[in-house]
Amino acid sequence: MIWNEKLPLIAILRGITPNEVLAHVQVLLDAGFEAVEIPTNSPNWEQSIAKAVAAFGDRALIGAGTVLNVAQVEALQATGATLMVTPNINAEVIRRAVGYGLQVCPGCATATEAFTAIEAGAQALKIFPSVSFGPDYIKALKAVLPPEIPVFAVGGISPENLHDYLKAGCVGAGLGSDLYRAGQPVSRTAEQASAFVAAWKTATGR
State the catalytic residues.
Answer: 37, 126
CA distances from residue 145 to 28, 61, 110, 182 in whole angstroms, order as listed: 31, 25, 11, 35
Other C-beta atoms closer than 10 Å to the C-beta of 41 total 11
- Residue pair 98/121 in contact (Cβ under 8 Å)? The answer is yes
Amino acid code (one letter) for 17: T
- Residue pair 45/204 in contact (Cβ under 8 Å)? The answer is no
